Amino acid sequence: MQHFKTLSEYIAYLELPGPEHPMFSVFSARGEDFLPCPKESSPPITNDCYSISLKKIVKGDLNYGRTTYDFTNGALIFIAPRQVLQWDSSVVYEQKGFSINFHEDFLKGTELAQQIKKYGFFSYAVNEALHLSPKEEKQIESIVENINIEYQNNQDEFSKDIIISQLITLFKYANRFYERQFLNRKELSTSLLERFNLQVSQFFETGQLQKKGIPSIEQIAAKISVSQRYLSDTLKKETGKTTTEHLQLLLIDEAKNLLLQPSKSIAEVAYELGFEYPPYFSRLFKKKEGISPTEYREKYKLN
């Protein structure tokens, strides 16, 4: 897999105009202009750059991984360094929006270097992009216009600080807008929770827990075709619980059924649920239920 260590190499590979700065570039469609389109297709590649792009297709379609996505209303996409990128033949004719690309070293020594790691949307897949309302789109575009003005000016000792400040503002707005998207798309959130629960139930029913152990959140997310971070953020906003908490609740619920089978020891129940160490199962059960597995079993016997 080809990897690009510098921004200039990556931009050249995309067949776009060279950047004004060795570690930072902005492409923005102004007025009647359209964004320059990158090369039509690419095998899997990686690079050391962050990318933020607003794609709004005026005419044509844009494919990612053999799938056509709806970008007519403006979709904001965030890509982190070393994410695997691949796209298929594109038939885009006219595209509005912007594209910001910067090398991760551009952030070194700035407050954003650590802050950027807390923004989960850099781990989202393309189909989990932020869909902006017209008002939100204008707010984001005004910030990008400030960045573009600074980018096009003769750079001085203040330029980088001003650009970083504008990027921080952009990410804060994106965070706010994603929260709105999570709340407004409750049908999607409910569907994700149902699919999550169904997938874990299948692990129970097929005996995979005992054979392969407790699945990771990443494995479950892959099974339901979403990114781990998007699944976690969506469920957290909708239910107030993390994906790990949901998984633990399902495990404990199943444990209660197994504990009511007197022929099974506590250790056997733990192993059947995929726990490598029975004491950890007992501690988790007591943490969630307030009593130990043995006490739960005894309580049931009394009833």
CATH of span 2-184 = 2.60.120.280
**Closest to 104 in 3D by CA, of 124, 80, 126, 85:** 80
Average pLDDT (226-242) is 86
Cα 11 from Cα 249, distance rounded (Å): 47
Q: Which of 18-27, 106-115, 191-200, 244-253 has the lowest mean pLDDT?
A: 191-200
Cα 92 from Cα 61, distance rounded (Å): 5
How do the domains of the chain map onto residue ranges? Answer: 2-184, 187-302
CATH of 187-302, one of 1.10.10.60, 1.10.10.1100, 2.60.260.20, 3.30.420.40: 1.10.10.60
- Which residues touch 85 (CB under 8 Å, ≥6 apart)? 42, 44, 45, 46, 47, 79
Is residue 302 pLDDT above 60, yes or no?
no
Can you give the length of the chain in residues? 303
CA angle 60, 63, 64 (to 5 degrees): 155
Most confident of the following: 29-33, 165-169, 274-278: 165-169
pLDDT-based confidence at 101, cuts 50/70/90?
very high
The model's pLDDT over 119-143, given as tens digits with 9 standing for 90+, comes to: 989 988 877 889 888 899 999 999 9
Is residue 166 pLDDT above 80, yes or no?
yes
Query: What per-residue confidence (pLDDT) applies to 210?
Result: 81
Percent of the chain at pLDDT above 90?
A: 44
Average pLDDT (74-103) is 82
Average pLDDT (214-225) is 90
Cα 67 from Cα 262, distance rounded (Å): 51
Average pLDDT (255-267) is 89
Average pLDDT, the chain: 86
Half-sphere exposure of 259 (CA within 13 A, CB side): 22
> Are 2-184 and 187-302 equal in CATH topology?
no
Query: What per-residue confidence (pLDDT) applies to 189?
Result: 57
Average pLDDT (13-31) is 87
pLDDT-based confidence at 63, cuts 50/70/90?
low
Please give the model's pTM, rounded to 2 decimal places.
0.72
Within a 10 A sphere around the Cβ of 234, how many other Cβ atoms?
24
The model's pLDDT over 281-291, given as tens digits with 9 standing for 90+, comes to: 999 999 999 99
pLDDT-based confidence at 40, cuts 50/70/90?
confident
Within a 10 A sphere around the Cβ of 65, how many other Cβ atoms?
13
